[in-house]
Amino acid sequence: MRNTIILLLLITFTACQNQAHNEIRYQVSKSLKNGKPALNISMEFNANPSGETVVLLQDKAWGQEDLYNTLSDLSSEEANEIIKEKDSNRIVLKHESNLDKIRLSYTLQQDTENKLTTLSTYRPVIQKDFFHVFSHNMFMLPRDYVPNSHALFDVHIDWKGFEDDFSLINSFDTNKRSQKIKGTDEAHFHSAIFTGGDYRAYELDIKGNKAVLGIRGDWLVFKDSTIVNVLEKTLNAQRDFWKDHSQEYFAVTMTPTQQENGSSFQGSGLTNSFATTASNNKYLDPEGLIYLFNHELQHNWTGHTIKNENEEEQYWFSEGFTDYYTIKNIAKNRISGLDESYFIRKFNEFTKALFTSLVKEAPNSEINYDNFWSSREYSKLPYHRGALFAFYLDNKIQKDSNGEKSLDDLMLEIKEDAIKKNQRLTHKYFISKANEYLQEDITPFFDKHIEKGNLYNLDEMLNEFGYEYSPTTKIYDLGFSFSEDKKHIAEIDENSQAYKAGLRSGDRITFRSYYPQNPSFEAEIKIKKGNKEVSYKFFPAKDAKIPELKDSQHNKNILSF
């Protein structure tokens, strides 16, 4: 017995000793290359004794390709040769064998135009006044440190030469010129945001834990205080729901983008953080930002704590159920005064989006990486399909339990399994847990609507739970198609609101303003008529046989948040 204890102690000591050696030191500094802003990054780590050390950096990630275009000036005093293997996401360093440490330095630079758009923020953004880079685009990792995504290593980051008023806000700390990240892994470290520059940092106390909002730019439609208040209320409400105030630090970054017409915003839920961008113009809808904040913050649990076994395969859960709880928690907690009417309106939007989708009955197997990142139709499909499934399951559990249980109870149990048992979200696991709350097996319903992708029978669903609804709704219909150069009206539907307003095929367009997929936003089209410019306004909508929840007191009573 004594020998066994000694052996176990030796194994533990050796494991701890080996873990201490798995350390990466980075140094980051500002520079200029060819007159343009850049970041110089150097790293030091253990060399492979074979004489060939490999570091990993993705060339294709998050819908972006050719990320190696942002990389230059690779150098290492210890390496005799450096080989970039883009196709395998590897950089090979050849050096003398039995080398202890190896150093590698490189330059990171923006490869898009300075005009920041929604799409360009998923690539490194490095400008004079600020930088905004996701960690997988910024920090290389030694392959020996990450033989699998759960291998642990320590990270040290020194930020050199940054002025005192140059904010540094990232997923691990705020305004620290020297950072230590202990016991991280590839998934944890490479799902982070790193920003710096003229970001204004607002620190919040969320029941003893620190949250920081980093925001830059002069916003046209809201004050910083509006976003700070939304963030504070959202964090408190969500952490109360999940019974989880364990996160000691959380960062939110908000970066303005440029867009002339309409508005756009997006966010990415990340390690200890989420990064959001939004078009800074008069069309930006603050209510949309409230939705975005709540959706991305929900990903702390549905997506991070509760992890998908196969990412895209379970997007119906990590995105769809997140969408459902986004609007449910906003309404329940009256965030910015929004209530059950908001829930009903957003639910109807989800329904219309699903039933009018070009891929509305695509099987779940078609929601893969390539389709999700290349097609808006596929990328939104699991959000809407999953949100309606969550709505059905929430009501079904409440009905079968006579109001004693709800989907909330199931979600909390799944969260506990994820924490205590390291359980990942699989279809088999989810069905087995859901069945514990139901009187009938959910498998046939799941197979039909999630796996095979058949549309829900919405009339039947709403009748089952006693909701009031209208049999038809108005959906978006611009009513005409553009010519190839977008300067003329090509074909026009004579039954459309556009035709009724006076527009005709062949009309020359001098101005257009409309909100795609929004039938309640009045469109304006200006046409050149001789020497005059004539304006036509109409609502781009038509009736469709899609059930729509009524904004009635009866329905609000059933929701009973």
Q: Strands 125-126 and 130-134: what pairing?
A: antiparallel
Averaged pLDDT for residues 247-256: 96
In the chain, the amino acid numbered 106 is Y
Domain that holds residue 313: 301-467+551-559
The CA-based dihedral angle spanning residues 224, 229, 232, 236, taken in that order and rounded to the nearest 10 degrees: -160
**Cβ distance 270 to 192 under 8 Å?**
yes
Same domain for 424 and 312? yes
Same domain for 531 and 434? no
**Domain contains 508:** yes
Q: Which two tokens stand for residue 58?
A: 């993705």
pLDDT at site 18 = 43
Q: Which of 262 and 76 is assigned the larger pLDDT? A: 76
3-state secondary structure of 240: helix
pLDDT at site 283 = 84
Q: Collect all residues with Cβ–Cβ distance below 8 Å to 272 and sequence separation of at least 6.
A: 171, 172, 192, 247, 249, 250, 251
Same domain for 508 and 389? no
pLDDT at site 118 = 79
**Cβ distance 311 to 382 under 8 Å?**
no
Same domain for 326 and 427? yes
Same domain for 517 and 447? no
* 376 to 287, 359, 372, 535: CA distances (angstroms): 22, 10, 7, 31
DSSP annotation of 61 reads B
Residue with tokens 């991070």: 304
Count CB neighbours of 255 within 10 A.
22
- Provide the H-helix boundaries in 130-279: 135-138, 186-189, 224-241
Q: Which of 263 and 192 is assigned the larger pLDDT? A: 192
3-state secondary structure of 53: strand
- When divided into structural domains, the chain yields a total of 2
Q: Strands 473-476 and 541-544: what pairing?
A: antiparallel
Residue with tokens 């089952």: 464
Averaged pLDDT for residues 383-408: 97
**Domain contains 176:** no
Averaged pLDDT for residues 143-148: 87
Quick: pLDDT tens for 313-369: 999 999 999 999 999 999 999 999 999 999 999 999 999 999 999 999 999 999 999
**Cβ distance 381 to 362 under 8 Å?**
yes
Q: Which two tokens stand for residue 18?
A: 């080996």
Distance CA 407, CA 241 (A): 12
pLDDT at site 285 = 85
- Assign 149 a pLDDT band (cuts: 50, 70, 90): low
Quick: pLDDT tens for 506-550: 999 999 988 777 888 899 999 998 889 999 999 999 999 999 999
Per-residue pLDDT at 44 exceeds 80: yes
The CA-based dihedral angle spanning residues 259, 281, 276, 120, taken in that order and rounded to the nearest 10 degrees: 20
**Cβ distance 461 to 539 under 8 Å?**
no
Return the biggest CA–CA distance within the chain. 101
Same domain for 524 and 392? no
SS (H, E, C) 271-283: CCEEEEEEECCCC
Domain CATH number, residue 516: 2.30.42.10
Distance CA 132, CA 257 (A): 12
**Cβ distance 503 to 478 under 8 Å?**
no
Per-residue pLDDT at 94 exceeds 70: yes
Q: Collect all residues with Cβ–Cβ distance below 8 Å to 72 and sequence separation of at least 6.
A: 33, 106, 107, 109
Distance CA 201, CA 207 (A): 19
Q: Which of 276 and 283 is assigned the larger pLDDT? A: 276
Same domain for 481 and 447? no
Phi first, then psi: give them for residue 87, nearest 5 degrees. Answer: -65, -30
**Domain contains 400:** yes
pLDDT at site 21 = 53
**Domain contains 70:** no
- Assign 238 a pLDDT band (cuts: 50, 70, 90): very high
**Cβ distance 402 to 395 under 8 Å?**
no
Distance CA 561, CA 556 (A): 8
Most confident of 21-25, 169-173, 184-188, 281-285: 169-173
Distance CA 95, CA 74 (A): 15
Quick: pLDDT tens for 95-141: 999 899 999 999 999 999 878 887 789 999 999 999 999 999 999 99
Domain CATH number, residue 432: 1.10.390.10
Distance CA 434, CA 437 (A): 6
Q: Strands 249-257 and 209-215: what pairing?
A: parallel
**Cβ distance 489 to 479 under 8 Å?**
no
Same domain for 535 and 422? no
**Domain contains 358:** yes
The rounded mean pLDDT for the chain is 92
Closest Cα partner for 115 from 125, 105, 107? 125
**Domain contains 161:** no
* 221 to 224, 277, 287: CA distances (angstroms): 10, 15, 11
Quick: pLDDT tens for 470-515: 999 998 999 999 999 889 999 999 999 999 999 999 999 999 988 7
**Domain contains 346:** yes
Same domain for 425 and 325? yes
In the chain, the amino acid numbered 374 is S
Averaged pLDDT for residues 47-61: 95
The CA-based dihedral angle spanning residues 379, 380, 386, 387, taken in that order and rounded to the nearest 10 degrees: 150
**Domain contains 115:** no
Same domain for 490 and 440? no
Q: Which two tokens stand for residue 165?
A: 């008023």
Q: Which two tokens stand for residue 114?
A: 């300075």
Same domain for 426 and 332? yes
DSSP annotation of 449 reads I
Same domain for 519 and 409? no
For residue 145, the surrounding DSSP H or E stretch is: none
Averaged pLDDT for residues 129-158: 93
Q: For Cα atoms 558, 559, 561, give the angle at the middle one, nearest 5 degrees.
A: 130
pLDDT at site 384 = 98
**Cβ distance 483 to 490 under 8 Å?**
yes
Cα 196 to chain centroid, rounded: 20
